[in-house]
A and B are shown apart, each in its own frame.
Chain A
Amino acid sequence: MTGGPRRRSPSVAIPAESDVLVLGGGPAGTWAALGAASRGARVTLVDKGYCGTSGSTAAAGNNLWYLPPGGPAREKAVAAREISGGYLTDRRWMFRLLDQTWDAVGQLADWGYPFPTSDDGTQRRASLQGPEYMRLMRRRVRRAGVAVIDQSPALELLVDPDGVVTGAAGLRRQHAGERWEVRAGAVILATGGCAFRSGALGLNVDTGDGALMAAELGADLSGMEFSCQYGIAPAFGAQTKGLMYQFATFTAADGTELACGLRPGGVLEVQRAALYSQVYAQLDLAEPGIRSAMRWSQPNFFLPFDKIGVDPFARRFPIRFVLEGTVRGTGGLRLVDDGCATAVPGLFAAGDAASREPVTGAVSGGGSHNGSWAIASGSWAGAAAARFASTRAGQWRTAPLAHGGGPGLRPRAARGDLRADDVVEAVQDRVLPLRHNRFRTAADLRESLTVLDALWPVVAGGLTAADGDPRSVLRTREATAMLAHARWMYRSALARPETRGMHLRDDSPQTTPAFARRIRVGGLDEVWTALDVAPPALLRTEETEETAVP
């Protein structure tokens, strides 16, 4: 139907100034924007893609860590998580997370999220389907008066003469790469995790840009060794939702059964087998009576099978393991207080951009804790950033601002001829394969670091510029962020010479109580690590427990 009227949604002008600037419009960013706006702040939210479709939650959906107050359920769940999380959690944070999630989900219900209802009329509220949830969040954010700017990735932070973060700058990729700058009283990083452009469901926007910007100003991270979560996907595709594999029988090429269901040890066996040969899955443990409910619960799990004409119940299909990096891992920017401040003044972090160790520990938070964390940390960061901006002396509105960004924006040397995509490929080569990242040894980690460390000066020096193509600036920043993440990740993995949670050291398979500490990491030119001196605040300590080695 050519010749019809083309109606584009009117392009929103970018405010030059805002009390709070939120980078990223997934659940963490939208809850942050609402948190700040409800405290009277003028808020701007920018997204690389589109607030409502972009990021992990919009594509995948979230089951939440959602438990009623009162009664023993929360106490029990927190105690269980301490053990499974490898004794790196913080009980106070877990309880405040549960409180905040409960209230926020109540709000979603008030706003009309179409929850399912059980026979007795009560709503089941622990699962949020991605497109529905994030479309609603976008509406609420706009209704709250937040300026939402899509297709406008942030590239760097702006700082005042005292080193306080006072805004950010980026580009509008659908406006010929025009640059934008927003001056702000406080900035919240909600840019998601880093999945190394592995292709896992919805994650190619999550390239770790926020942590790069923060590290350029001296922020540190924590838990980066816990960044090796792999999703299961049918070999033909990129659909990495995992829950339905509880009904799977996993087999080797010759049909030998490797595991069934999602027991951690079992999946590990399958991953080991996948090092050497193709492995398969079939959802044959699902009774026919339950299959329709499976489909309605996770329609986009089944959609790829339907489209390609494979019946996953009736026939085994080849699978592959796709890295989800820090998205369903745990590591990220280290938070220094209850308001989700980072180590850099004026800069807050929420969702996957922040370390989730306080609530997930050393195991994946994808599947329940992460979604709740995005809601809660976003809300806290929004409130704290609004407070910070309002108590800040007025000169932030006029102070001269310095640009924080380095590689890709301000090359140090004459540009070389390496392209951003070459860097991404080199990084992927070391971080995506199971043999490097799932099954770790000191020798292999060192070998990876030799390659990755050697790349850094080249990237910092300057990659080749495809002049006139605004996307090349973004590509370069993304490549830089991925390289930085790879180095933080493997340096942290070396600093933990034991096996804990998802971090598996084939050369040190024991769990060592002395390492029931978090590991901090930071730096770009020189990457450093340090064992956190303070033990996590637990109900009980590891010494009194049997150590479970996967």
Chain B
Amino acid sequence: MIEVISDSRCVDCGICVDVCPTNVFDLSADGPPVIARQSDCQTCFMCEAYCPTDALFVAPLAGPAPTGSPLADEAALEAQNRFGEYRRWLGWGHGRTPGSRRDQNHVFTARALSPPKRAGR
């Protein structure tokens, strides 16, 4: 679920409010949007993909992060370079190559259709 909007990274553009499929955010009069309905978050990472300044962090948990969790701690996340992680994989953002150019799903769908004989282990 969405855990963090970084005040220092956010430029108040409102894009996350527009694009969240489950309407989790509300604009605020001054400053970054607020996480108004965290319980509606479906952990789809779409807001991370669209945020132009990598200001959001969505924890990979199906429920809210426990109190004190590093997954809700901006400084800890910053130290681990966790902001903007999905966007880097997607290759979104200025000067990046779309990640889809490296998509090898055809290998995996073919392999799933005729799996190799199992090697003895």
A115 contacts the other chain (CB 8 A): yes
Contacts known (A53-B46, A151-B23, A204-B42); A296 close to B102, Cβ less than 8 A: yes
B107 contacts the other chain (CB 8 A): yes
The digit string for A357-374, where 1 denotes a CB below 8 A from any CB of B, is: 000000000011000000
Contact A296 B103 (CB under 8 A): yes
- In the bound complex, residues from chain B placing their C-beta under 8 Å from that of A7 are 13-14
A379 contacts the other chain (CB 8 A): no
Contact A8 B27 (CB under 8 A): yes
Min CB distance, B58 to chain A, in Å?
Answer: 8
Bound complex: CA of A295 vs CA of B88, how far in Å?
Answer: 12
Pick the residue among B18, B31, B43, B115 that contacts A261 (CB under 8 A): B115
Contact A131 B49 (CB under 8 A): yes
B111 contacts the other chain (CB 8 A): yes
Min CB distance, A147 to chain B, in Å?
Answer: 16
Interface size class of B (residues with CB under 8 A): 35 or more
Contact B20 A244 (CB under 8 A): no
Pick the residue among A50, A115, A199, A294 that contacts B108 (CB under 8 A): A294
- In the bound complex, residues from chain A placing their C-beta under 8 Å from that of B10 are 1
Residue tally, chain A, CB below 8 Å to B: 70
- In the bound complex, residues from chain B placing their C-beta under 8 Å from that of A128 are 100
Pick the residue among A48, A59, A236, A306 that contacts B62 (CB under 8 A): A236
What does DSSP make chain B's interface, helix, strand, loop or mixed? loop
Contact B20 A50 (CB under 8 A): yes
Contact B106 A202 (CB under 8 A): no
Best-buried of A53, A55, A243, A303 by chain B (most CB within 10 Å):
A53
Contact A300 B46 (CB under 8 A): no
Bound complex: CA of A55 vs CA of B18, how far in Å?
Answer: 15
B8 contacts the other chain (CB 8 A): yes
Contact A204 B40 (CB under 8 A): yes
Bound complex: CA of A48 vs CA of B20, how far in Å?
Answer: 10
Bound complex: CA of A361 vs CA of B2, how far in Å?
Answer: 37
Contact A243 B109 (CB under 8 A): yes
The digit string for A118-129, where 1 denotes a CB below 8 A from any CB of B, is: 000000101111
- In the bound complex, residues from chain B placing their C-beta under 8 Å from that of A236 are 60-62
Residue of A nearest to B88 (CB): A299
Bound complex: CA of A303 vs CA of B88, how far in Å?
Answer: 11
- In the bound complex, residues from chain B placing their C-beta under 8 Å from that of A394 are none
Bound complex: CA of A149 vs CA of B102, how far in Å?
Answer: 33
Bound complex: CA of A8 vs CA of B27, how far in Å?
Answer: 10
B73-96 contacts to A (CB < 8 Å): 82, 85-86, 89-90, 92
Contacts known (A50-B19, A55-B21, A303-B89); A117 close to B101, Cβ less than 8 A: yes
B34-55 contacts to A (CB < 8 Å): 40, 42-46, 49-50
The digit string for A47-79, where 1 denotes a CB below 8 A from any CB of B, is: 011101111001100010000000000000000
Contact B42 A303 (CB under 8 A): no
Residue of A nearest to B30 (CB): A2
A292-319 contacts to B (CB < 8 Å): 293-300, 303-308
- In the bound complex, residues from chain A placing their C-beta under 8 Å from that of B50 are 53
Residue of A nearest to B45 (CB): A300
Pick the residue among A48, A50, A261, A297 that contacts B104 (CB under 8 A): A297
Bound complex: CA of A522 vs CA of B44, how far in Å?
Answer: 32
Pick the residue among A205, A303, A308 that contacts B21 (CB under 8 A): A205
Residue of A nearest to B118 (CB): A260
Contact A132 B98 (CB under 8 A): yes
Residue of B nearest to A304 (CB): B60
Min CB distance, A49 to chain B, in Å?
Answer: 3
Pick the residue among B8, B18, B49, B89 that contacts A1 (CB under 8 A): B8
Bound complex: CA of A116 vs CA of B50, how far in Å?
Answer: 22
- In the bound complex, residues from chain A placing their C-beta under 8 Å from that of B62 are 199, 233, 236-238
Contact B22 A205 (CB under 8 A): yes
Contact B44 A299 (CB under 8 A): no
Bound complex: CA of A121 vs CA of B28, how far in Å?
Answer: 49
Pick the residue among B32, B85, B108 that contacts A246 (CB under 8 A): B108
Bound complex: CA of A238 vs CA of B64, how far in Å?
Answer: 12
Contact A5 B108 (CB under 8 A): no
- In the bound complex, residues from chain A placing their C-beta under 8 Å from that of B20 are 49-50, 53
Contacts known (A6-B14, A243-B109); A50 close to B43, Cβ less than 8 A: no
- In the bound complex, residues from chain A placing their C-beta under 8 Å from that of B56 are none
Contact B19 A6 (CB under 8 A): no
- In the bound complex, residues from chain B placing their C-beta under 8 Å from that of A307 are 59-60, 71, 82, 85
- In the bound complex, residues from chain B placing their C-beta under 8 Å from that of A127 are 103, 105-106, 109
Residue of A nearest to B57 (CB): A307
Bound complex: CA of A6 vs CA of B112, how far in Å?
Answer: 47
Contact B21 A54 (CB under 8 A): yes
Contact A116 B17 (CB under 8 A): no
Min CB distance, B80 to chain A, in Å?
Answer: 9
Contact B90 A202 (CB under 8 A): no
Contacts known (A50-B18, A55-B21, A116-B103); A246 close to B112, Cβ less than 8 A: yes
Contact B60 A308 (CB under 8 A): yes
Contact B8 A53 (CB under 8 A): no
Pick the residue among A54, A116, A202, A205 that contacts B101 (CB under 8 A): A116
A173 contacts the other chain (CB 8 A): yes
Bound complex: CA of A453 vs CA of B100, how far in Å?
Answer: 46
- In the bound complex, residues from chain B placing their C-beta under 8 Å from that of A63 are 105, 109
A255 contacts the other chain (CB 8 A): no
- In the bound complex, residues from chain A placing their C-beta under 8 Å from that of B61 are 236-237, 308
Bound complex: CA of A517 vs CA of B107, how far in Å?
Answer: 35
Best-buried of A7, A132, A173, A239 by chain B (most CB within 10 Å):
A132
A1-46 contacts to B (CB < 8 Å): 1-9
Bound complex: CA of A126 vs CA of B104, how far in Å?
Answer: 10
Given A53-B20, A115-B100, A237-B60, 10 additional A-B pairs, CB 8 A: A7-B14, A8-B27, A50-B21, A53-B19, A58-B21, A58-B46, A131-B46, A296-B103, A300-B86, A307-B71
Closest 8 CB pairs of A and B: A49-B21, A304-B60, A299-B89, A127-B105, A54-B21, A296-B102, A114-B98, A53-B46
5 example contacts (A-B, Cβ-Cβ < 8 A) are as follows A63-B105, A201-B43, A202-B44, A238-B42, A246-B112
